[in-house]
Amino acid sequence: MSSIDLRQYGIQVREISRNPAPAQVYCDAIRADPNCEIAESGALIAYSGDKTGRSPADKRIVKHADSEADIWWGDVNIPTTKETFAINQERAIDYLNTRPHLYCIDAFAGWEPNYRMKIRVICSRPYHALFMHNMLIRPTPEQLADFGEPDAVIFNAGAFPANRHTAGMSSKTSVSLSLESRQMVILGTEYAGEMKKGVFTLMNYFMPKQGVLSMHCSATVDGKSGRSSVMFGLSGTGKTTLSADPSRELIGDDEHCWTDDGIFNIEGGCYAKAIFLNPDTEPEIFQALRYGAVMENVIYDQETHKVDFADVSITQNTRGAYPIEYVRNARIPCVAGHPEDVIFLTCDAFGVLPPVSKLTPAQAMYHFISGYTAKVAGTEVGVTEPEATFSPCFGGPFLAWHPAKYAELLAEKMKKHGANVWLVNTGWSGGQYGTGKRMKLSVTRSIIDAIHAGTLADAKTATDPIFGFEVVQECPNVESEILRTRDTWSDGDAYDQTARKLAELFVDNFKKYADTAGEEILAAGPNV
């Protein structure tokens, strides 16, 4: 641990710990943070207060002449002024100056040295410091000595509210970003995921400017053959769980980039959902939640400090953040060659999409731009049960450019490297949410295993009459009836009606992209 002078930002606090060791952060957390405890496994338990998920409605980006034409303005990227940003930043710095002790985490985003960003996080809670120590790529002592000026700075004053009377503020929560100054300010929320996704938003803006595709996906590689794959999907669709595969090497669980040379992980850690975590079905994640990890908003036994992963009394969005090397089969450095399989994970709340389908290039673009899934309870404030949504590129809340920008980059790379594309439903089967059942993890694992083995590339398929994609009819270790979704419903007419309803939602949603998608991609949508 070393100290650092941050007066260039207006921070006058003398006691600032730069990249402290986890043991020191533990000590500080137990001494100074009444909301922290130590779990039986050794992980640090922390609580984020009122906000237990992201607050996308409170995200703002400074509208500036240098980047204004690049940004996809709308519900995802709401503009703010440089004056409002300056007010929020001053408010954050004023609050940080009232703290007796601050933390400065200097680390990297991106395992590929030619594309990595140097990130600086300034915060006051030990929990936030340990979280970003885990989630960013930790520099060696030599790299830290040569760190220099960062490429981006995050000011986390989340314990202090935004001023609701400031122009453009919608609540006491504010997550604002200036691309020109490369600075982010957090007020009114102590949910650590805001920092992680702030870094992702930065990468989502700066990487495409270099012809690099930034992706909301997990990635694994076969250690023997070198065959890699990426899995797209929003939180709750299974990216982290399915990427924790002991038979493959883990590149990363959530955020990656695809360059002319291959893929690399943006992060230095994993941020796994802990709700109903089971050591038998998710052993890799379970064993990673040990000393050095952070567990958010979980309930534990007051005597034994054993965590009850089934207790949702605070939130269903309980989480665990741990360094990627805690995963026994992680590949370090987290890089691999071009993926041979691109997998779109969707959590279908309607229960009509088949467990696995093969997509044509045009269908791949249609479903990538659509990004159909269901918001999973607890991931965002106010979401208490799954609900159908369309999130472009399977990462709409974190996009900076128009979805077409990322779709064009993906199409270019898939075509150049001949990747197979699959749509995998990890949602409901036998009926929609409320009547059907969630797809068994064992079924999805068998499907993913077959994709990785190349078994499904030549498997028997049948064309779906409504959605048009090729539905895989046979897969090792999966009952054929499960693969034919209509057969899992007790009422075939109800299935047909629900399928048409979902197809109409697809078509209606895609109207907003019709002017940029092109005729071939439009024709790849459902037939209604």
CATH number reported for the structural domain that contains residue 418 in this entry: 3.90.228.20
pLDDT at 379: 54
Of 189, 210, 231, the one marking the end of a domain is 210
Query: By three-state DSSP, how is residue 199 classified?
Result: helix
435-440's contacts with Cβ under 8 Å and 24+ in sequence apart are 435/351, 436/351, 436/488, 436/489, 439/355
pLDDT at 383: 58
* Assigned domain for 318 exists: no
Q: Which of 407, 415, 423 lies closest to 369, judged by CA?
A: 407
Instruction: State the Cα–Cα distance between residues 258 and 268, nearest whole angstrom.
Output: 17
Range of the domain at 491: 339-522
Per-residue tokens: 136: 């960013």
* Assigned domain for 152 exists: yes
Dihedral over Cα of 192, 197, 203, 205: its sign = negative
Residues of the chain with pLDDT under 50: none
* Assigned domain for 328 exists: no
The residues facing 157 across adjacent strands are 187
79-87's contacts with Cβ under 8 Å and 24+ in sequence apart are 80/168, 80/176, 81/167, 81/168, 82/178, 83/167, 84/60, 84/166, 84/167, 84/168, 84/169, 84/176, 85/60, 85/176, 85/178, 85/185, 87/163, 87/166
Instruction: State the Cα–Cα distance between residues 260 and 417, nearest whole angstrom.
Output: 10
Instruction: State the Cα–Cα distance between residues 82 and 166, nearest whole angstrom.
Output: 12
| Locus of tokens 């045009």 | 362
Instruction: State the Cα–Cα distance between residues 499 and 528, nearest whole angstrom.
Output: 10
* Assigned domain for 491 exists: yes
Cβ-contact 414, 361 below 8 angstroms: yes
pLDDT at 1: 55
Residue-wise pLDDT tens digits, 427-477: 999 998 888 999 999 999 999 999 999 999 999 999 999 999 999 999 999
Instruction: State the Cα–Cα distance between residues 253 and 245, nearest whole angstrom.
Output: 11
So which residues are the catalytic ones?
54, 197, 216, 235, 239-240, 254, 319
Query: By three-state DSSP, how is residue 527 classified?
Result: coil
pLDDT at 375: 65
Q: Are residues 198 and 346 in the same domain?
A: no
* Assigned domain for 495 exists: yes
pLDDT at 396: 92
Of 180, 210, 240, the one marking the end of a domain is 210
pLDDT at 233: 87
* Assigned domain for 272 exists: no
* 412: amino acid identity, one letter: E
Per-residue tokens: 35: 């909301």
The residues facing 228 across adjacent strands are 221
Q: How many domains does the chain have?
A: 2
pLDDT at 496: 96
- Alpha-carbon 96 to chain mean position: 28
Of 195, 210, 225, the one marking the end of a domain is 210
Instruction: State the Cα–Cα distance between residues 263 and 409, nearest whole angstrom.
Output: 13
DSSP secondary structure string, 61-122? Answer: EE--TTTTTTS-BTTTBEEE-HHHHHHHHHHHHHHHTTSS-EEEEEEEE-SSTTT-EEEEEE
Q: Are residues 206 and 347 in the same domain?
A: no
CATH number of the CATH domain containing 192: 3.40.449.10
* Assigned domain for 421 exists: yes
* Assigned domain for 507 exists: yes
